[in-house]
Amino acid sequence: GHSLGRTEGHGLQFLLREEDLLTLDAYQKLLYKLTAAVKEMETHGAHIHDLLSSITYPPASEVRNPESYISAEGEGERSERNGKKVCFNVAGDEQEDSGHDTISNRDSYSDCNSNRNSIASFTSICSSHCSSYVHSDEMDSGDEMASSVWLSHDKQKKLHSFLEHLFSQVDSISSMLRGAMVAQAFEQTKGFTPGRGLQEFQQEMEPSVNCTKKLRLHIKQDPWNLPNSVQALTQTISKYVEEVKTRLLLVLLQYSDSEIQLRRDMVFCQSLVAAVCAFSEHLLSVLNQFYNVGKELDQDFPDCQELQEAQEASRRWLEQIACAGLLFHFQSLLSPNLTDEQAMLEDTQVALVDLEKVTFHFQQFKGEPLVANMPVSHQVEGTRQALKVCFYLESRYFSLLPYRLKNGGGVKIYPVLFTQALESMEGYYYRDNVSVEEYQAQINAASLDKVKQHNKRLRAFFLDQSNMPPSAAPKAALIDKLMRPLNALEELYRLMESFISCRRTAACQYTACGASGVGLLTVASELCSRLGATHVVMCNSGVHRCTLSVTLEQAILLAQHHGLPPRCIMQATDVMRKQGARVQNSAKNLGVRDRTPSSVPRLYKLCQPPPADGDP
């Protein structure tokens, strides 16, 4: 047969070997995680500094009348002492809520004066335990200490929370710095720093990153210097992280080729544009179900039950994608026996891996829409490792979103690729000892596994009692109604597996699977539709084979959901091929060569437009 096992003409999936692709992805994820963790650690350090810097002299807005505070000292003690009294005042209502006597905030060194070491203690009251922080501050003989150091119960809780989050981030960063990927990065970059390897790095790092216990003790002994201690800790951690990030970047440069990276970015942008456009149309279609049921049926008064069912289906889909994510079905009709289309297919595989790092978010229009007369528009921000697409909706649409999405939650997308040429690939080889048919089967089998995983997520979502919509029906009946479409998937799974495992031969040309196995495309589309997927169809030009598939899908949808008799599918296809998507798309892409194979299955031939002279 014809072998395509050569480097030229291949796509990203071949140029980026699978192990290299996984390694690159792991390094990039580690780089992103380290950057995010350090940023969060520095944020908590800044919060601690701001909180403690406001304790001694509270802002005017926080000053209350002395009567509203319970002093930690008694009246007798106040008259007996001549020196300064250093204490933390706790508001009366806060003291009552805490369940602890304010005597625990008493300064045991009340007889100190301004010429001695001033020592203050306070009790940090937490929800589950009390931890005492004792503070000591050396002061010069001329220094004056505030007679009252303000630390409300709320600030104590905030301080404790900030410290715990800080220590948690330090532990997380320490764990990443000790990980296998960092060790591998040091091994691959040891030539750049001959005198500093992994062992030297770890010996220097360990005492610094393991200091959280010492810092906790230091807080009790010297809390006035807590901001300085926290700052020193964050700066030290940041220094080691920067060293590791530099090595990670060096490794990425070793793996990366500028031309390959540019190509990867380009195909990712194309897949992202397709995903955003398809989801925008799907989302608007779902949201319009809340308003347009009667209009679609040309009814002044639509059937109440039908309206409720349409709205309930739309609401359930929105809740589903908010909690379980969105399945994106990419249907490919590329012919891998052609070198350029095989490269497109390989590029698409890598593009969909990158697409998994995208999340969709939603905001309401504020002021004028970004695009005039458009109910939905979007903006993109983020990095290759975490890209965020924000959709801006009109208020009437935004109000219909689930609570989680309206409050900043995102939709995780799960792309899958099912591919099948419209002609037999018998006799063609993708690589040595790997036929084109086997290559297609590998892609489809991996995608089918992802579909099954998404099915499990949906089952968990529907069986979660908290996700149950309000209904007067018994719970068992309601669960059965929700799960029935998912339970019917087993037959579709069986059909998909038979298509994937079947080897095409001339003998099966007229069997159910057909010589090209194109039945897989229809079954895969039905399977993904049952799971609420958004669909994208692709070929080499996006004009000819794509619109054949779209025309056929339109006829199938009419039969499945709108009562079109099966005997009328051919007539419906004949109507749509003359004035449907194929005609419109061809008019926008004049001069594009039609590479639809002449041996295309009969069902797809029926979807082809009439000849140029207008005869069917």
* Distance between CA atoms of residues 332 and 186, nearest Å: 41
- In this predicted structure, what is the pLDDT of residue 253? 83
- In this predicted structure, what is the pLDDT of residue 218? 61
Same domain for 485 and 608? no
> pLDDT tens-digit profile of 225-278?
777 778 888 888 889 899 989 988 888 887 777 888 889 999 999 999 999 999
Q: Which two tokens stand for residue 275?
A: 């995903």
Q: CA nearest 459: which of 378, 369, 530?
A: 530
Residue 129 lies in a domain: yes
Judge contact between 542 and 528, C-beta under 8 A.
Answer: no
Q: Which two tokens stand for residue 274?
A: 């397709």
* β-bridge mates for residue 391, sequence order: 362, 378
Same domain for 365 and 439? yes
Per-position DSSP letters for 306-351, written without gaps between them: HHHHHHHHHHHHHHHHHHH-EEEEEEE---TTSHHHHHHHHHHHHH
Residue 311 lies in a domain: yes
- Domain end among 199, 229, 255: 255
Judge contact between 596 and 422, C-beta under 8 A.
Answer: yes
Residue 516 lies in a domain: yes
- In this predicted structure, what is the pLDDT of residue 546? 83
Same domain for 370 and 490? yes
Same domain for 592 and 506? no
Helix (H) or strand (E) holding 417: strand 411-419
* β-bridge mates for residue 389, sequence order: 360, 380
Same domain for 276 and 364? yes
What is the C-alpha end-to-end distance of the chain, expressed in Å? 37
Q: Which two tokens stand for residue 123?
A: 């009790």
The three-state DSSP-derived secondary structure of 426-470 is CCEEEECCEEHHHHHHHHHHHHHHHHHHHHHHHHHHHHCHHHCCC
- Domain end among 221, 255, 289: 255
Same domain for 563 and 510? no
Q: Which two tokens stand for residue 616?
A: 């069917």
Residue 594 lies in a domain: yes
Helix axes 153-177, 226-255, angle to 10 degrees: 30
Handedness of CA 296, 301, 303, 305 (dihedral sign): positive
Low pLDDT (below 70) residues in the chain: 1-9, 54-151, 210-224, 292-303, 369, 465-483, 485-486, 503-516, 599, 602-603, 605-616
3-state secondary structure of 425: coil
* Distance between CA atoms of residues 326 and 536, nearest Å: 13
* Distance between CA atoms of residues 411 and 390, nearest Å: 10
Judge contact between 293 and 310, C-beta under 8 A.
Answer: yes
Same domain for 298 and 243? no
Same domain for 265 and 309? yes
pTM of the model: 0.69
Same domain for 457 and 330? yes
Structural domain including 262 reads: 258-538
Same domain for 392 and 344? yes
Judge contact between 360 and 387, C-beta under 8 A.
Answer: no
- In this predicted structure, what is the pLDDT of residue 28? 85
Residue 12 lies in a domain: no
Residue 8 lies in a domain: no
Residue 171 lies in a domain: yes
